[in-house]
């Protein structure tokens, strides 16, 4: 299933894509696409619904972040061997994890804010997934049973704030609009192998990132298992698994986003995103 959230920001409704790609309204069946809806028993009930009997959502509608009421966003840094190489950093011996504020969540086609004081705003296409059931000290062998579904994340970073200011990475990762999610929440049964997906990102029509989850150092199962040893993961929590090479920081010389730039992201099977960068006034 491909689940969506559509409508005005803060008032999104739940929907599902039918076989022709039209959005069908799930209002009255579920309240939202969130931790409750993506739990295993709820997804089983949804799978039994006759989609063709649901109302069609007509006209152009805004798509919101594909997961609502997210409790936390946990990200993995330097998780692609070729990205670590471009950053001239050693291969991590274990996953590098950090948090991203949930207030950074954005729709897949919404504008991305360029903060007034920003000088090094960078793009990062990533495979994201959401937790379907409570996970604590989960074994790697069982970990994929806890994944409810997958989606695209643009894990935007302000590199100066991240690396050149005091403290940890969180401040460079958490500005409003720095986490577009979606467009679709694709249930795990539709992704045969999360370790074999192509990821692409273009800026103003020029390809910047073109990688594969094959070069991930720590795969989805290992990442989930590892994180669950340090914190309890709840249904609806989002994990973003790292980015392949081609980020602005790794270019020579480095190249960062500016007002008016357009980003286009895609992962096979998960759709695409597009955002316009808009400079935020003081």
* DSSP characters over 126-176: EEEEEE-S-BSS--TTTGGGGEEEEEEEE--EEHIIIIISSS-THHHH-ST
> Which letter, b or e, does each residue of 161-193 get, where b requires 16 or more Cβ atoms within 10 Å of its Cβ?
bbeeeeeebeebbbbebbbbbbbbbbbbeebee
The structure tokens listed for 159 are 């590199």
Whether residue 58 lies inside any domain: the answer is: no
The structure tokens listed for 237 are 């929590």
Whether residue 66 lies inside any domain: the answer is: no
- 36 and 158 part of one domain: no
- 42 and 155 part of one domain: no
Predicted local confidence at residue 147, as pLDDT? 98
Whether residue 268 lies inside any domain: the answer is: yes
d(CA 59, CA 49) in angstroms, rounded, equals 23
Q: Which domain holds residue 44?
A: 2-53
Which domain CATH number covers 89?
Answer: 3.90.850.10
- 81 and 174 part of one domain: yes
φ and ψ at residue 198, rounded to 5 degrees = -90, 140
Whether residue 68 lies inside any domain: the answer is: no
Whether residue 65 lies inside any domain: the answer is: no
Rg of the chain over all Cα atoms, to the nearest angstrom: 18
Return averaged pLDDT per consecutive 10 residues of the chain, 282 residues in all.
97 97 96 98 96 95 98 96 81 95 98 96 98 98 98 98 88 97 98 98 98 97 98 98 95 96 98 97 73
Write down the residue that tokens 């990132």 correspond to.
209
Question: Are 179 and 163 a contacting pair, CB within 8 Å?
Answer: no
Q: Count of domains in the chain?
A: 2
- 49 and 87 part of one domain: no
Please report, for residues 6, 85, 231, 276, the alpha-carbon distance to residue 142 in angstroms, rounded to integers and kept in the order given.
33, 31, 17, 39
- 16 and 130 part of one domain: no
- 128 and 17 part of one domain: no
- 35 and 101 part of one domain: no
- 47 and 77 part of one domain: no
In angstroms, the first-to-last Cα distance of the chain is 42
- 122 and 162 part of one domain: yes
Predicted local confidence at residue 166, as pLDDT? 83
Predicted local confidence at residue 85, as pLDDT? 79
- 260 and 141 part of one domain: yes
């Amino acid at each position: 299933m491909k689940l969506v959230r559509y409508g005005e920001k803060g008032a999104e409704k739940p929907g599902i894509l039918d076989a022709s790609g039209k959005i069908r309204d799930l209002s009255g069946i579920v309240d939202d696409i969130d931790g409750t809806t993506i739990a295993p028993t709820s997804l089983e009930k949804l799978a039994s619904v006759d989609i063709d009997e649901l109302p069609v959502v007509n006209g152009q509608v805004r798509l919101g972040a594909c997961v609502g009421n997210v409790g936390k966003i946990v990200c993995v840094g330097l998780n692609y061997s070729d990205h670590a190489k471009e950053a001239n950093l050693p291969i991590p011996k274990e996953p590098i994890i950090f948090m991203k504020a949930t207030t950074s969540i954005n729709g897949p086609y919404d504008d991305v804010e360029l903060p007034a004081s920003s000088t090094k705003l960078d793009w990062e296409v990533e495979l994201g997934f959401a937790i379907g059931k409570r996970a604590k000290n989960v074994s790697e062998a069982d970990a994929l049973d806890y994944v409810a579904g997958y989606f695209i994340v643009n894990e935007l970073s302000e590199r100066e704030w991240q690396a050149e200011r005091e403290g940890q990475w969180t401040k460079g990762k958490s500005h409003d609009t720095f986490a577009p999610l979606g467009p679709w929440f694709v249930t795990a049964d539709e992704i045969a192998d999360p370790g074999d997906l192509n990821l692409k990102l273009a800026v103003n029509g020029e390809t910047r990132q073109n990688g594969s989850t094959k070069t991930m150092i720590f795969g989805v199962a290992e990442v989930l298992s590892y994180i669950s040893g340090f914190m309890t993961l709840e249904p609806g929590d989002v994990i973003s698994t790292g980015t392949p090479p081609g980020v602005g920081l790794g270019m020579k010389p480095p190249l960062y986003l500016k007002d008016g730039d357009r980003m286009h992201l895609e992962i096979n099977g998960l759709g695409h995103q597009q955002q316009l960068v808009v400079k935020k006034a003081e």
